[in-house]
Structure 1
Amino acid sequence: MGRSFAKGRKSMAFEVAASNLLLLILLILLAHGSESRKMSEKYGNNLELPSNDDEIKDEMSQRVDPSLMIFFTLKDMKVGQKIPIYFPKREPSTSPHLLGRDEAASIPFSSKKLDNLLEFFSLSQGSPQAKAMENTLSLCEIEPIKGETKFCATSLESMLDFARSAFGLESSFGVVTTTFLNKSSATFQNYTILEMPKEILAPKMVACHTMPYPYAVYYCHYQESENKVYKISLGGENGDGVDAVAVCHMDTSHWSRDHASFRVLRIEPGTLPVCHFFPADHLVWVPTPTSS
């Protein structure tokens, strides 16, 4: 593996991924609580944002990290409901691709090898990219929470193997993702639910989240607790059209009271299911029905 590989890969992966690490951590560590900034009490359960863009910008810059605005409840899932949502905008052409199994296996993937990896990818100690790599490796190496099975996929083959182990070796499965039909440059705006959300019937799901790294790495996991997967058609104030994927966690009684979703939604653990939207480059694997 030559130095040209390292230089070619490193510039693509960190343009937006490192800046959205908070969002990734929220999606990955749902039951661990959150260290993010506290949510303003102003909006309460009235999820709709002010309509004036300057007011939104001023309010959010002072009180709210917009990347927290991915949560909603089942009672919000109705036609005409407005929900403020943060959708990071990423271009597929600048996103890193999964390596083949042999290529990925040739590169160490361990926090113990971080210094060597930084040298290999020509990254400076203490740089934002180095910190992002360190965070990704740490998240991949922590113990799973109770009832969770997790794996960091560095190749397409390893991701498919993990999904296959979740659903059964003889099961067929497919992937659903959030898709932008058309989009503006706005990452944060009010969205209106345009049609009745459609549940994707799946007894089990595997969520795979992109992680900031010089090449594509996905944090994949599934839990034993009940989850429901939905496709939701959204229209944004700035003209965005989105076929969004959302997951609802039906039992939150074991979640930390400090989790950001409870502050955003102003609810207590175990009182209501907590739902959240998936960014466009995250994947949700679900079993596909077999023909009889």
Structure 2
Amino acid sequence: MKRTERSFTERRNMGSGLAFWTSSLLLLLLVMCAQGIEGRKMSEKQWETTHTEHVHAHPSSHMDHMDPSHMIFFTLKDLNLGKTMAIYFPKRNLSKSPPLLPREEVDPIPFSSKQLHHLLQFFSFSQDSPQAKAMEDTLRHCETAPIKGEIKSCATSLESMLDFARGVFGFDNRFSVVATTHLTNSTTLFQNYTILEEPKEILATKMVACHTLPYPYAVFYCHSQESSNKVYKVLLGGEDGDRVDAVAVCHMDTSQWSPNHASFQVLKINPGSSPVCHFFPADNLVWVPTSTSM
């Protein structure tokens, strides 16, 4: 067995917390893990950040003023069979995804905005490059204090992500992961989707959401809130025939969110006035206790 495959298997089997992997997540992590530390010397063209994506379709002209990447939000009352919504689903090329490094390789690398100049030299990026700006934004986002009732951590390895989840769920409890799966190979990023089946709630007393951030290696912004949240699996059908088995989370209390949060602009509501729901892209993860109903 190759070293990268063996090390992935060892990391996958750490502790009792990790109960199972979805096939799409397994593929994502295998590809990201297999690249290893050699992926750090990437050219500016090789590292594809979210800033380089383009929207291929616009469902309606009145949304032209809105950033399409913000079109992931909806309200709880929208979560019904037959409901049609304009949704942005970024398409990720797994072969070009930043590598998910093991802890022993990533821990010696500084992860601090104070070390940004050194990091740019280490990764061979110029100071005025888009990658430098993305790295600066990611580091500052990770260093921002959590909102009231939230715990957060930027996971730079699979081990650190699992450690954070164990801290939330308890070290003696088992937990599982769910992720959005694209059932077709549509290249349309932004289009109208219709809910094809009754949404299925995943009954979770707690949850940990992990969002990818742009960086030369894989970084996940993981957080959990004390306030109530609901997790759903939603089967969606796009106008072009696209099919997505999507994960959605509804935050029931948004009173502590910033009034400038994109969701309030999209939904035209105020903090705390209504639950805010959103879909997860395929490279984001949601961890839930395994005792939940899937």
- TMscore range, shorter length: 0.7 to 0.9
Partner of 2:179: 177
- Equivalent residue for 2:142, pick from 137, 140, 143: 140
Residues 1:68 and 1:93: Cα distance change in structure 2 (over 3 Å) = same
Q: Distance in 2 between matches of 1:258 and 1:54?
A: 24
The offset of 1:106, in angstroms, is 1.9
Partner of 1:255: 257
Paired residues of 1:199 and 1:231 also in contact (CA < 8 A) = yes
Partner of 2:7: none
The offset of 1:126, in angstroms, is 1.2
Paired residues of 1:195 and 1:233 also in contact (CA < 8 A) = yes
Partner of 1:282: 284
RMSD, matched Cα: 2.3
Partner of 2:41: 7
The offset of 1:94, in angstroms, is 1.4
Paired residues of 1:193 and 1:232 also in contact (CA < 8 A) = yes
Q: Distance in 1 between matches of 2:58 and 2:230?
A: 36
Partner of 2:4: none
Residues 1:204 and 1:269: Cα distance change in structure 2 (over 3 Å) = same
Residues 1:55 and 1:280: Cα distance change in structure 2 (over 3 Å) = closer
Paired residues of 1:9 and 1:214 also in contact (CA < 8 A) = no
SS at match of 1:182: coil
Q: Distance in 1 between matches of 2:262 and 2:235?
A: 25
Amino acid at match of 2:139: L
Amino acid at match of 2:221: Y
Amino acid at match of 1:169: F
Percent same amino acid among aligned pairs? 65
Unaligned 5+ runs, structure 1: 21-52
Unaligned 5+ runs, structure 2: 1-36
Paired residues of 1:11 and 1:214 also in contact (CA < 8 A) = no
Partner of 1:223: 225
Q: Matched residue pairs, number? A: 255
1:16 to 2:18 alignment: no
Partner of 1:39: none
Residues 1:168 and 1:127: Cα distance change in structure 2 (over 3 Å) = same
Alignment of 1:33-182 (within 5 A): 56=60, 59-61=62-64, 63-182=65-184
Paired residues of 2:50 and 2:214 also in contact (CA < 8 A) = yes
Q: Distance in 2 between matches of 1:257 and 1:277?
A: 20
**Post-superposition CA distance 1:47-68 (Å, at most 9, x none):** xxxxxx6774x6544x111111
Q: Distance in 2 between matches of 1:54 and 1:126?
A: 32
Amino acid at match of 1:167: F
Q: Which moved more, 1:253-262 or 1:240-249?
A: 253-262
Paired residues of 1:183 and 1:239 also in contact (CA < 8 A) = no
Residues 1:268 and 1:114: Cα distance change in structure 2 (over 3 Å) = closer
Q: Distance in 2 between matches of 1:55 and 1:276?
A: 18
The offset of 1:11, in angstroms, is 5.5
Partner of 1:186: 188
Q: Distance in 1 between matches of 2:52 and 2:148?
A: 29
**Post-superposition CA distance 1:70-106 (Å, at most 9, x none):** 1111111111100100111112111123100100112
Paired residues of 2:49 and 2:131 also in contact (CA < 8 A) = no
After TM superposition, the score normalised by the length of structure 1 is 0.81
Partner of 1:29: none
**Post-superposition CA distance 1:229-269 (Å, at most 9, x none):** 00000000011100000000111233333332222222333
Q: Distance in 1 between matches of 2:133 and 2:45?
A: 15
Amino acid at match of 2:49: V
Paired residues of 1:227 and 1:249 also in contact (CA < 8 A) = yes
